[in-house]
Chains A and B, each alone.
Chain A
Amino acid sequence: MADVKKKKLSRKKARKKVARIRTAVQILFFVIIAFIAVNHTLTETGGGIPIVSKASLHAVCPVGGLVSIYQFAAVGEFVKQTHASSFILMIIVFSLTIVVGPAFCGWICPFGSFQEWIAIIGRQIFGKRYNTMLPAKLDSLLRYLRYAVAGWVLYVTARSATLIFADYDPYFALFNFWSGEVALTAFIALALVVVLSLFIERPFCKYACPYGAVLGLFNLFRFFGIRRNAATCIDCTLCDKSCPMNIKVSTAGRVVNHQCISCLKCTSEQACPVVDTVELMSGKYRVDTLEIKESRV
């Protein structure tokens, strides 16, 4: 009995340690982007750190690459304020996404991390009701809104050759609120995201992010996918409850949901209590009865 307790405790510790890895990566990218944004402002007034790049936020955002595709194909130029760096970052993120799915959203994007951190407050307030308050039908309908946003952003950028979305972009507002370059509409969008994040996890990612919409499509043909081993699954639905994007993992063989962000919260490393049952993997599970018996906790 004491042995089981000890085992459970050490597993809990191991899960916390695993969760910290993702948090550390998120913090790293958040700090880098914040640093670049501040340094850009400082360099504009003659300050800044000399050896550090004077790049603007647009130059280090892969979204700039995405919206420049048309302009680049048509006239061989990038949309104003974006540079080759945005295009290269877009290619890098697409490559990563083909391999492991939208890990950019779950691990790298500072605005996704920002929403997750606000969610900590939301969970404190609403407990288990957090992230489940929106009626399922409305929620599933709204999930397609981000494709409309993506379509609109690509269209208006192609037509105007300028970053019109910056005027509505809460991410730009968050990292430039001091610069005077942020439009009122972007501030309103940021405030809306902050408030909604107290009720819903990652509302911007779910309903409005144009880049998330494009990356989400890679979930249909990514190389490493989230797989559930039906033979060892104990139907506890902890994987469903842990998913920030409300994906029903407990009934899937392989998760092909367009909203998966590869955060690995549902896997046997974290939420799933049975080892080797929900994993990020290529190929399929090999079922071995003896292994199944040994793996049950």
Chain B
Amino acid sequence: MKLRSPHLAVLSLLFVFGGILVSMLAGVWQSESSKVPATYTSGEFAGQYNPADIRGSYSFADVASAFGVPADILVKSFGFETYENPEDLQIKLFEDVYGVIDGKEIGTDSMRLFVALYLARPYTPEEDTGLPLRAVQSLLEAGKIDPESVSEYRQKYSVDISGRIGSDAAATVAASVAGSVEATGESSAGAVTGEAEDTTIKGKTTFRDLMNWGLSEAEIEKVIGMRLGPPTQGLRDYFIEQEVEFSEYKDELQSRIDARQ
């Protein structure tokens, strides 16, 4: 039996598109993250979605759909209302648009904290996590925090993002996508000039980072009392998988790293 070019063309198309179609019909084709957060496994909130599992790849709409917090409140709280189709923006853009302001970081963890406060679910944010002032205001307006404790929240978390919202924010979003090559260049330039490395443990800190900062594998295992995850796994993801609180071990690990610096 001989095969010619037309046969091979048809076979190639048939195998690729036919195979994809069959796997779709079988329900196994998946080319994106499921956007279904992990649930609490025990306690009062067992079975409900855990804000700690909100990822940077989630859009405002994904968060709204999973947690039932209205998308317009989320968008307004984080200052994206002037952007086109803001509910489709991904949370990971926070770091590019806002990043660290006055020592507090507006990033994915800010969204986790906001959702947890909005739904009154337990969550321990990272130490430097911030919330926009307008997000604290949204929580107050929605009756999610007591008026008496507003000043406490403001002091603990709030960051004034007014200088970066609106058209500036939109411009930064566009620039963060189109020109992040330049940003990468800047950061690597910083490294070359010998800037001190930030050794603060955050949720996205990996086991490899801990080892690079001087902790041995055995030492980390001793602190956390478990086998290490893959070297590049983020600590937050690892502890969520293990169903334990990140904050239980964070301070001990941090103090050991600080002792080595």
Q: Is the Cβ of B2 less than 8 Å from the Cβ of A53?
A: no
Neighbouring B residues of A21 by C-beta, 8 Å: 5-6, 9
From A43, A89, A264, A281, give the contact of B5 (CB < 8 A).
Answer: A264
- Min CB gap B180→A, angstroms: 3
From A83, A88, A161, A282, give the contact of B20 (CB < 8 A).
Answer: A88
Distance in angstroms between the alpha carbons of A159 and B229 in the assembled complex? 11
Q: Does B70 belong to the interface (CB within 8 Å)?
A: no
Q: Does A135 belong to the interface (CB within 8 Å)?
A: no
- Min CB gap A63→B, angstroms: 15
Question: Which of B27-35, B144-152, B161-169, B250-258 contacts its partner?
Answer: B27-35
Distance in angstroms between the alpha carbons of A262 and B9 in the assembled complex? 11
Q: Is the Cβ of A96 less than 8 Å from the Cβ of B15?
A: yes
Distance in angstroms between the alpha carbons of A59 and B83 in the assembled complex? 28
Q: Is the Cβ of B13 less than 8 Å from the Cβ of A85?
A: no
Q: Does A221 belong to the interface (CB within 8 Å)?
A: no
Neighbouring B residues of A46 by C-beta, 8 Å: 59, 83-89
Q: Is the Cβ of A180 less than 8 Å from the Cβ of B177?
A: yes
Neighbouring B residues of A80 by C-beta, 8 Å: 232
Interface of B is mostly: helix
Q: Does B47 belong to the interface (CB within 8 Å)?
A: no
Q: Which residues of B8-29 have CB atoms within 8 Å of chain A's CB atoms?
A: 8-9, 11-13, 15-16, 19-20, 23, 28-29
Known contacts A47-B85, A100-B8; A88 and B29 CB within 8 A of each other: yes
Q: Does A107 belong to the interface (CB within 8 Å)?
A: yes
Q: Is the Cβ of B16 less than 8 Å from the Cβ of A95?
A: no
Known contacts A85-B31, A159-B231, A160-B232; A108 and B85 CB within 8 A of each other: no
Distance in angstroms between the alpha carbons of A45 and B88 in the assembled complex? 7
- Interface size classification for chain B: 35 or more
Q: Does A41 belong to the interface (CB within 8 Å)?
A: yes
Distance in angstroms between the alpha carbons of A56 and B90 in the assembled complex? 14
Q: Does B225 belong to the interface (CB within 8 Å)?
A: no
Q: Does A195 belong to the interface (CB within 8 Å)?
A: no
- How many residues of chain A are within 8 Å of chain B by beta carbon? 54
Residue on B nearest A161 in the bound complex, by CB:
B230
Q: Does B155 belong to the interface (CB within 8 Å)?
A: no
Distance in angstroms between the alpha carbons of A183 and B230 in the assembled complex? 22
- Min CB gap B28→A, angstroms: 6
- Min CB gap B32→A, angstroms: 6
Q: Does A269 belong to the interface (CB within 8 Å)?
A: yes
Distance in angstroms between the alpha carbons of A59 and B33 in the assembled complex? 10
Neighbouring B residues of A264 by C-beta, 8 Å: 4-5, 8
Q: Is the Cβ of B8 less than 8 Å from the Cβ of A45?
A: no
Q: Does A35 belong to the interface (CB within 8 Å)?
A: no
Q: Does A154 belong to the interface (CB within 8 Å)?
A: no
Neighbouring B residues of A121 by C-beta, 8 Å: none
Q: Is the Cβ of B31 less than 8 Å from the Cβ of A45?
A: no
Distance in angstroms between the alpha carbons of A272 and B66 in the assembled complex? 61
| Chain B interface residues (CB < 8 Å from chain A) | 1-6, 8-9, 11-13, 15-16, 19-20, 23, 28-33, 59, 83-90, 93, 173-174, 176-181, 183-184, 230-233
Enumerate 16 A-B pairs (CB-CB under 8 Å) in ascending A order: A18-B5, A19-B5, A44-B90, A45-B177, A47-B88, A54-B32, A83-B32, A85-B30, A89-B19, A92-B20, A107-B12, A160-B230, A262-B8, A269-B5, A281-B3, A282-B1
Q: Which 7 A-B pairs have the closest CB atoms?
A: A180-B180, A55-B31, A92-B19, A85-B31, A46-B88, A161-B230, A59-B31
